Amino acid sequence: MRSSTETRTETWQGAAADLRHLLRFRSHGVRRPRVAAVAVTVLVAVTILMAVAPAWLTIEETGMSGDRARLLDDVLPAAFAGFLLLGIGASMGGGGGRELLPREQAVIHPIGPVTEHLGALVLAPLNLAWLLQAWTLFAFSALVVGPHGLVGAQVVVLLWLFVATALAQVVGWSVEGIRRTHHGVVIVRCATGAIGLALLVGQVAGQLDDLTHALPTAALADSLGEPQWPLVAALLVGLLVLAVALGAVPARWALRLPPREELRVESGVHEARPSPVARLLGEDLALLRRLDRGSVWRSVGMRRGLIVLGLGPALVALGTGLPWDTVLILPGLGASGAALLFGINAWCLDGRGMLWRESLPVAATRTFDARALVVAECLIVVSAVPVVVGSIRNGLPTQQVAISLTACWLVVVVQVLAIAMSWSVRRPYAVDLRSPRATPAPHAAMFGYALKLSLVTTLTGMLFVGSSGVDVWWLPLAMAAPFLVWSSVRLFRARRRWLSAPARAEIALTVAAG
């Protein structure tokens, strides 16, 4: 009989079995399984709806500009490529991809890099951006193809989603590997900056359209609804197998190397500054806020996330010259993304130190206010950058747009802050955010949070888009008032719950248990 501790090379079969066990283990931790089951059913239903229903619509009925040829030649190839780029961005930002188990829990288990790689692939769709893009691709494809040949077309689209995710994972692991080498962080930052700049210059110079036509995704779009789709599907299956297998190579390499960026933060010297002088809100609050700010900006994952969320949409706004009605949607999405970095479980910044923090002689109101201020700062910064950069390209907005934009920005920031702080006091989690692969809540919960936040902020943004088109200056302000009142009430309720000693103790014990 083989010993259970005998050293064995990780096989694909073994990795798949380990993945199954780990996913089952994680699924047992879902706090509300019925809600999760309903959510999965709804998501599958919406996906089927998006993949089928548009086939019976005409382009005119959707209100889109252009015709079928434009969708096929321009929009779909770019959308296919955009999905791949989004996947690359997500896997790069996430340090290779999401982790199956938090690092502290995983260290006692013999989880190999191939299992980690497969886990990151399986968990990649638990990302709202992934799902929204997938729905868009399904809907566009159905619209272009129509009822005849729809099944074949959607099989090709589905396979592309998998292939793009697997290819993105190859890039993500490779970048993480480079990042973990000597000077790797600098190399990755320079390369990312150069590529971003090149794309920006290409877009401004009008060269990206030619590039879109030359992409292999143009051939993919051409095959939709055509008789040769089985051949394309077979090619994609081959590519998928190759990409999944290839991804294991950089995953093994990257996960063997020490996480240099995190280690640098942990071993770096941070000379303490003198205690802050009395300010408007008091010295205690200023010091607490400084400590909380440090907890955010000294985390590799959060820092990277805030930069990407701020600069990514800003570059798109600058490069493509997004119209003001689209820019109006960006603050809400940016604020939602920033909240998902830590705000939805804001007390997790303290980690196991929360018990100590709670033993300090400071009013609970001060602790809440400091944390809410730090969350608000992150939301404001991330949501402001695309708006400011967008104005560079678009010039100053009209008075009506400016009022709508300001009102919308204020509303979504307060809205997201209230929602995030409310979730933080009601559903705290014990998490360690040292790794950029870590998330502030379990994956299923994160997906639900992302869905709710994006839906709420996008709908709010669309209302203000409407107000920007009506020449009544006070309308956006009047619309903002009820939103602000409701969000303030919600924030006040969250604060009141925090002030209850038993509720606070429960939060502290939960968060410190990590």
**According to CB under 8 A, which one of 4, 9, 13, 359 is a site residue for other proteins?**
359
> Is 18 an interacting residue with respect to other proteins (CB under 8 A)?
no
The tokens for 172 are 């993500």
Nearer CB in complex with other proteins: 65/359: 359
> Is 281 an interacting residue with respect to other proteins (CB under 8 A)?
no
The tokens for 256 are 């063997």
> Is 425 an interacting residue with respect to other proteins (CB under 8 A)?
no
Q: How far apart are CA 433 and CA 62, in angstroms?
A: 43
CA 497 to chain centre: 28
Nearer CB in complex with other proteins: 130/347: 347
Residues from 80 through 139 that contact other proteins (CB under 8 A)? none
**According to CB under 8 A, which one of 267, 395, 471, 474 is a site residue for other proteins?**
267
> Is 456 an interacting residue with respect to other proteins (CB under 8 A)?
no
> Is 206 an interacting residue with respect to other proteins (CB under 8 A)?
no
> Is 268 an interacting residue with respect to other proteins (CB under 8 A)?
yes
Q: How far is the CB of 512 from other proteins (least distance, A)?
A: 6
Q: How far is the CB of 366 from other proteins (least distance, A)?
A: 9
CA 207 to chain centre: 29
Q: Answer whether 260's CB lies under 8 Å from 184's CB.
A: yes
**According to CB under 8 A, which one of 272, 277, 280, 396 is a site residue for other proteins?**
272
Q: Answer whether 441's CB lies under 8 Å from 345's CB.
A: yes
The tokens for 322 are 């997004």
260-268, 415-423, 459-467, 484-492 -> range binding other proteins (CB under 8 A): 260-268
> Is 484 an interacting residue with respect to other proteins (CB under 8 A)?
no
Q: Answer whether 161's CB lies under 8 Å from 87's CB.
A: no
Q: How far apart are CA 360 and CA 313, in angstroms?
A: 40
> Is 363 an interacting residue with respect to other proteins (CB under 8 A)?
yes
> Is 299 an interacting residue with respect to other proteins (CB under 8 A)?
yes
**According to CB under 8 A, which one of 52, 126, 185, 265 is a site residue for other proteins?**
265
Residues from 312 through 351 that contact other proteins (CB under 8 A)? 349-351
> Is 228 an interacting residue with respect to other proteins (CB under 8 A)?
no
Q: How far is the CB of 178 from other proteins (least distance, A)?
A: 23
**According to CB under 8 A, which one of 360, 392, 478, 481 is a site residue for other proteins?**
360
Identify which of 337, 329, 348 has the alpha carbon closest to the alpha carbon of residue 310.
Answer: 337
Q: Residue 507 burial (CB < 10 Å; 0-12/13-18/19+)? A: buried
Alpha-carbon separation of residue 259 from 10, 115, 263, 301 (angstroms): 22, 19, 6, 12
DSSP code, position 348: G
> Is 512 an interacting residue with respect to other proteins (CB under 8 A)?
yes
Nearer CB in complex with other proteins: 52/287: 287
Non-local CB neighbours of 321 within 8 Å, separated by 6+ positions:
393, 394
**According to CB under 8 A, which one of 61, 67, 209, 266 is a site residue for other proteins?**
266
**According to CB under 8 A, which one of 66, 353, 469, 482 is a site residue for other proteins?**
353
Q: How far apart are CA 127 and CA 94, in angstroms?
A: 12
**According to CB under 8 A, which one of 238, 283, 455, 492 is a site residue for other proteins?**
283
Nearer CB in complex with other proteins: 65/267: 267
Residue in the block written with tokens 């877009």: 203
Site size toward other proteins, by CB under 8 A: 43
Q: How far apart are CA 98 and CA 121, in angstroms?
A: 8
> Is 1 an interacting residue with respect to other proteins (CB under 8 A)?
no
> Is 279 an interacting residue with respect to other proteins (CB under 8 A)?
no
**According to CB under 8 A, which one of 87, 358, 368, 428 is a site residue for other proteins?**
358
Identify which of 320, 315, 318 has the alpha carbon closest to the alpha carbon of residue 194.
Answer: 315
Q: How far is the CB of 255 from other proteins (least distance, A)?
A: 20
CA 330 to chain centre: 14
Q: Residue 4 burial (CB < 10 Å; 0-12/13-18/19+)? A: exposed
Residue in the block written with tokens 């000077």: 183
Q: Answer whether 115's CB lies under 8 Å from 42's CB.
A: no
**According to CB under 8 A, which one of 194, 195, 478, 513 is a site residue for other proteins?**
513
Residue in the block written with tokens 């196991």: 352
**According to CB under 8 A, which one of 291, 381, 402, 462 is a site residue for other proteins?**
291
Identify which of 93, 301, 262, 97 has the alpha carbon closest to the alpha carbon of residue 180.
Answer: 262
- Interface ranges with other proteins (CB under 8 A): 263, 265-272, 275, 283-284, 287-288, 291, 294-295, 298-299, 349-353, 355-363, 432, 434, 501-502, 505-506, 508-509, 512-513
